[in-house]
């Protein structure tokens, strides 16, 4: 499959905004993407963004469908609680281990093919789970799904970067995140009903949803120039080492680790335990707390993305991290149910403010044309590390000391990311000038076309 280069003037713009300006000054001066504030912002997002948003909803709703069934299905093979839990954690572990390979696949073959293959692998492995007859088969099939999951996650971020205009990246990220969140909320409701029919039914329904998502993306993006990758040999490649030299990328790594730690890890593991052991409430109340978190998150995602596109990436990122830190610490300091719910809402708002801005900043640093699979993989791995380590560390701290200490450590993690965002550069194209690009960065960019691919292992 040969992808054609986009042909849109805004692609080079993001390179200038991210500090990857072309060597030729005249080329920069004539580039509308190097947005100096005179070029009007696009009025709306391209159709391809909405295709990814729809696919994201299908994937998320399917993932939520199997959530209630997976542990019980594993237990049906007469295994213990540890073995049943390992089926769940094996998916995240394989995602983490395979992320660097996914980055190389994106660099080598492009985002669109990697996305389609990734979703197809998860679809096949999920359908196979429905027909597993022994525990080891379920474990193997679910682990294989982790391979496909990291493939389509890393490539989906890359596709969003490629097809979103630089001035609308925050809104695109907010819309994408909202669709995934809404799917994640609706999925468990449907999954609970399917479990009553059969423990295998959720896996079949999820597999069908993934097949539908694959066909949707293939059909809608097969002739899209925006979703195509530049196939010239001299297309710039940004390595992980290159990106680490940018303070905003380093800040985004730490904030994404915080996001994984708080949102994907501690929220799902520590909050239900806190509700049961400290507040002495039942699982229904825990579900209410998680629903409030998700609702607060969804409520601010779109507005946060719009703000990031208008006023800059740093302000909402800093505000989000501050609220995450305050909310996390507050969760462990109260035994009053209403104050606990209020702290949950604050934490959800913090996550909603953070996500679009950090994703848009990542896009600004990488740029629309650059091949940067290892950069995308590193960003995704940061969240996966937080999701894997966060519950284990917080659980151990709560067991050895207290829930208050566990939530306090989570707040410290968020505060550390806040500190790293303070010196980060603002990357919003309208607030960035080509002249701000250092000579060292220009030298790095000039060398990417010749030896960047060889260094992409980073």
Architecture field, domain 46-225:
Up-down Bundle (1.20)
Task: Return the domain boundaries, the chain.
Answer: 46-225, 239-428
Per-residue pLDDT of the chain (458 residues; tens, 9 = 90+): 433 333 333 343 334 333 443 333 333 333 333 343 444 555 688 888 898 888 888 888 887 788 778 878 888 888 886 777 778 778 878 888 888 888 888 888 888 899 999 999 999 999 999 999 999 999 999 999 999 988 988 888 888 888 888 888 888 888 888 888 888 777 777 777 787 788 888 899 999 989 988 998 888 888 777 666 554 445 567 888 888 889 999 999 999 999 888 877 777 777 877 887 888 887 678 778 877 888 888 889 889 999 999 999 999 999 999 999 999 999 988 888 899 999 999 999 999 999 999 999 998 888 766 667 888 888 888 988 888 888 778 878 888 888 899 899 999 999 999 999 999 999 988 766 543 433 333 334 444 433 443 344 43
CB atoms within 10 A of CB 48: 22
Domains 46-225 and 239-428 share a fold: yes
**How confident is the model at residue 372, as a pLDDT?**
73
Longest CA–CA span in the chain (Å) reads: 70
127/202 Cα distance (integer angstroms): 10
DSSP bridge partners of 371: 237
Q: Is the Cα dihedral 302, 308, 313, 319 positive or negative?
A: negative
Report whether 48 contacts 164 (CB < 8 A): no
Closest CA to 414 of 349, 320, 342, 346: 320
**277 φ, ψ (degrees, to nearest 5):** -90, -25
SS (H, E, C) the chain: CCCCCCCCCCHHHHHHHCCCCCCCHHHHHCCHHHCCCCCCCCCCCCHHHHHHHHHHHHHHHHHHHHCCCHHHHHHCCCCCHHHHHHHHHHHHHHHHHHHHHHHHHHHHHCHHHHHHHHHHHHHHHHHHHHCCCCHHHHHHHHHHHHHHHHHHHHHHHHHHHHHCCHHHHHHHHHHHHHHHHHHHHHHHHHHHHHHHHCCCHHHHHHHHHHHHHHHHHHHHHCCCCCCCCCCCCCCCECCHHHHHCCHHHHHHHHHHHHHHHHHHHHHHHHHHHHHHHCCCCCHHHHHHHHHHHHHHHHHHHHHHHHHHHHHCCHHHHHHHHHHHHHHHHHHCCCCCHHHHHHHHHHHHHHHHHHHHHHHHHHHHHHCCCCECHHHHHHHHHHHHHHHHHHHHHHHHHHHHCCHHHHHHHHHHHHHHHHHHHCCCCCCCHHHCCHHHCCHHHHHHHHHHHHHCHHHCCC
**How confident is the model at residue 167, as a pLDDT?**
85
CATH number, domain 239-428: 1.20.1250.20
Q: Which two tokens stand for residue 106?
A: 């994106």
DSSP bridge partners of 237: 371
**How confident is the model at residue 28, as a pLDDT?**
31
Q: Which two tokens stand for residue 78?
A: 């007469």
**How confident is the model at residue 76, as a pLDDT?**
86
């Amino acid at each position: 499959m040969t992808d054609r280069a986009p042909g849109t003037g805004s692609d080079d713009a993001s390179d200038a905004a991210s500090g990857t300006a072309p060597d030729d000054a005249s080329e920069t001066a004539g580039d509308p993407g190097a947005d100096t504030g005179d070029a009007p912002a696009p009025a709306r997002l391209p159709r391809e963004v909405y295709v990814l948003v729809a696919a994201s909803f299908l994937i998320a709703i399917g993932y939520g469908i199997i959530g209630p069934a997976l542990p019980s299905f594993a237990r049906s093979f007469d295994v213990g609680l540890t073995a049943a839990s390992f089926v769940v954690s094996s998916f995240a572990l394989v995602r983490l281990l395979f992320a660097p390979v996914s980055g190389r696949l994106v660099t080598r073959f492009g985002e669109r093919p990697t996305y389609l293959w990734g979703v197809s692998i998860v679809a096949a492995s999920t359908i196979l789970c429905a027909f597993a007859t022994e525990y080891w088969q379920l474990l193997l099939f679910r682990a294989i799904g982790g391979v496909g999951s990291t493939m389509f996650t890393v490539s989906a971020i890359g596709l969003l970067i490629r097809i979103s205009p630089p001035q609308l990246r925050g809104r695109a990220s907010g819309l994408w995140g909202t669709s995934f969140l809404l799917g994640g909320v609706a999925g468990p409701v449907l999954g609970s009903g399917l479990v009553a029919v059969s423990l295998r039914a959720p896996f079949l329904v999820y597999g069908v949803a993934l097949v539908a998502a694959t066909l949707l993306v293939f059909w809608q993006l097969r002739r899209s120039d925006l979703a195509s990758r530049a196939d010239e040999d001299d297309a710039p490649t940004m390595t992980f080492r290159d990106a680490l030299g940018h303070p905003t990328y380093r800040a985004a790594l730490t904030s994404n680790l915080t996001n994984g730690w708080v949102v994907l890890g501690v929220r799902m593991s520590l909050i239900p335990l806190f509700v049961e052991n400290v507040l002495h409430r039942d699982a229904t109340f825990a579900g209410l707390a998680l629903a409030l978190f998700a609702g607060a998150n969804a409520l601010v995602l779109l507005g946060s993305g719009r703000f990031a596109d208008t006023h800059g990436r740093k302000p909402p990122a800093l505000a989000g991290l501050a609220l995450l830190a305050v909310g996390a610490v507050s969760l462990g300091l109260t035994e009053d149910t209403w104050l606990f719910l209020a702290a949950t809402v604050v934490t959800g708002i913090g996550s909603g403010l953070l996500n679009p801005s950090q994703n848009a900043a990542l896009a600004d640093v990488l740029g629309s044309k650059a091949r940067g699979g290892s950069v995308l993989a590193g960003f995704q791995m940061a969240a996966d590390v937080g999701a894997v380590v966060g519950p284990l560390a917080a659980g151990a701290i709560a067991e050895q000391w207290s829930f208050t200490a566990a939530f306090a450590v989570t707040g410290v993690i968020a505060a550390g990311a806040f500190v790293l965002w303070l010196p980060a550069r603002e990357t919003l194209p309208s607030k960035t000038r080509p002249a701000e690009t250092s000579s060292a960065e220009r030298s790095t960019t000039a060398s990417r076309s010749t030896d960047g691919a060889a260094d992409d292992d980073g």
